[in-house]
Amino acid sequence: MHTPHSGMGIAAFITALCGAVLMLGLIVIAGIIETTTPGGMEETSMSAILVGLGLMCTALMQLVAFGLGVAGAVQADRRRVFAILGLVISIGSILGVVLLMIIGSLS
């Protein structure tokens, strides 16, 4: 008999994957707005505020996914595959956004 997958690990994977896709979509939307607006996107415009708020919400989703991934990884008698995948995706997407912020502040 095989051991079942961790429920928290599955939740971590789904949350991290959805958050990463939404985060990538918001970054693409911000890039499109930046390139199509003459003079660039104003920081006080409604679109910039909504994209920034969306990025903060997806970052919060990634933190929740990280917590679920840790909880799923330490569960006894459960498979840890989805928990580890959730951890990797959440850490990778948070580090990717931090890297983009560093690159943006340097330019």
> Which H, E and C letters describe 74-98, residue by residue?
CCCCCECHHHHHHHHHHHHHHHHHH
Do the beta carbons of residue 93 and residue 20 sit within 8 Å? yes
Instruction: Note down pLDDT in tens along the chain; length 107 residues.
Output: 688 999 999 999 999 999 999 999 999 999 999 899 888 888 888 999 999 999 999 999 999 999 999 999 999 899 999 999 999 999 999 999 999 889 988 97
At what angle are helices 7-36 and 81-106 packed, to 10 degrees? 20
pTM of the shown model: 0.89
* Number of helical (H) and strand (E) elements in the chain, helices listed first: 3, 0
